């Protein structure tokens, strides 16, 4: 659907009977990555999105450990310990790729040169606050990596996550209870049950999967436009 169709729709459409698998969700996100854009895919689930970006789309992947034009995961003899992604998984080059040091890599990010980054999340507030680096539980070892730099750096920060935690509570919340990664930084949240646009006025549902808008409003404790 085009943005105009979304704008004209009376309410967000339900696009499938069942919630999406994480692979299906990756495909939905890939659909929304603009042609020719520079994109950073966070460690974990977001890396799946790369599998759904056809080469002809010309999307160039950035990895914060110093590369543009990162290719797929390396197999067998392709494995080179000197060439990994941000999750330390060996990957391959693509034609036209480039290497640079860490300060340049993060200057690229912080300087607003990346078009999109997709991050996982523990919680997202309906105003775009992100919590994805620490559960805040005592005894947990804090580890932030590049998450805070990415959150404030890319032009568009998308989140990819399951909508509900294991205890059934929605991870899209009024205000994050876990330690923040960034304030007001997330513009869109892709989940297995629905896609949300976030802004200063709160969350707007774009589409739902395996749940009606009415059911979604019952299970998510924030106002949904």
List, by residue number, the catalytic residues: 64
- Is 84 or 162 the residue whose CB approaches other proteins more closely? 84
201 neighbors 170 (Cβ within 8 angstroms):
no
Q: CB of residue 179 vs other proteins: minimum separation in angstroms? A: 5
User: What are phi and psi for residue 31, nearest 5 degrees?
Assistant: -55, -30
Beta bridge partners of 14: 208
- Regarding 179 and contact with other proteins (CB under 8 A), the answer is yes
Helix, strand or coil, per DSSP, at residue 172: strand
- Regarding 115 and contact with other proteins (CB under 8 A), the answer is no
- Is 119 or 216 the residue whose CB approaches other proteins more closely? 119
Positions 145 through 164 that interact with other proteins (CB under 8 A): 145-149, 152-153
216/146 Cα distance (integer angstroms): 32
Pick from 101, 155, 219, 225 the residue near other proteins by CB under 8 A.
Answer: 101
Q: Report the chain's C-alpha Rg in angstroms.
A: 18
- Regarding 41 and contact with other proteins (CB under 8 A), the answer is no
- Regarding 45 and contact with other proteins (CB under 8 A), the answer is no
- Regarding 69 and contact with other proteins (CB under 8 A), the answer is no
101/121 Cα distance (integer angstroms): 27
Give the binding-site size for other proteins (rule: CB under 8 A). 45
- Is 149 or 192 the residue whose CB approaches other proteins more closely? 149
Helix, strand or coil, per DSSP, at residue 29: helix
Q: CB of residue 84 vs other proteins: minimum separation in angstroms? A: 5
- Regarding 15 and contact with other proteins (CB under 8 A), the answer is no
Q: Which of 148, 168, 197 is nearest to 9 (CA)?
A: 197
140/36 Cα distance (integer angstroms): 39
- Is 110 or 217 the residue whose CB approaches other proteins more closely? 110
- Regarding 138 and contact with other proteins (CB under 8 A), the answer is no
35/116 Cα distance (integer angstroms): 11
103/65 Cα distance (integer angstroms): 10
- Is 129 or 192 the residue whose CB approaches other proteins more closely? 129
Q: Which stretch binds other proteins (CB under 8 A): 32-40, 116-124, 173-181, 209-217?
A: 173-181
- Regarding 143 and contact with other proteins (CB under 8 A), the answer is yes
181/173 Cα distance (integer angstroms): 15
Helix, strand or coil, per DSSP, at residue 53: coil
Q: Which residues bind other proteins (CB under 8 A)?
A: 63-67, 79-84, 87-90, 93, 99-103, 105-107, 109-110, 129, 134, 139, 141-149, 152-153, 179-183
């Amino acid at each position: 659907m085009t943005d105009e169709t979304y704008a004209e729709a009376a309410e967000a459409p339900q696009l499938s009977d069942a919630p999406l698998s994480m692979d299906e969700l990756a495909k939905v996100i890939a659909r929304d990555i603009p042609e020719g854009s520079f994109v950073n895919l966070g460690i974990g689930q977001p890396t799946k999105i790369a599998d759904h970006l056809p080469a002809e789309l010309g999307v160039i992947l950035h990895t914060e450990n110093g590369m543009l034009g990162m290719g797929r995961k390396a197999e067998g003899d392709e494995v080179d310990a000197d060439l990994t992604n941000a999750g330390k998984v060996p990957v391959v080059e693509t034609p036209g790729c480039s290497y640079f040091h860490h300060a340049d890599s993060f200057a690229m990010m912080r300087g607003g040169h990346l078009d999109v980054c997709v991050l996982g999340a523990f919680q997202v507030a309906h105003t775009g606050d992100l919590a994805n680096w620490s559960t805040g539980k005592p005894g947990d070892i804090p580890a932030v990596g590049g998450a805070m730099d990415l959150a404030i750096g890319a032009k568009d920060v998308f989140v990819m996550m399951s909508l509900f935690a294991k205890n059934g509570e929605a991870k899209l919340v009024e205000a994050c209870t876990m330690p923040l990664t960034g304030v007001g930084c997330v513009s869109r949240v892709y989940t297995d049950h629905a896609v949300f646009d976030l802004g200063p006025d709160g969350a707007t549902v774009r589409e739902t999967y395996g749940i009606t808008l009415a059911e979604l409003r019952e299970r998510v404790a924030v106002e949904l436009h």
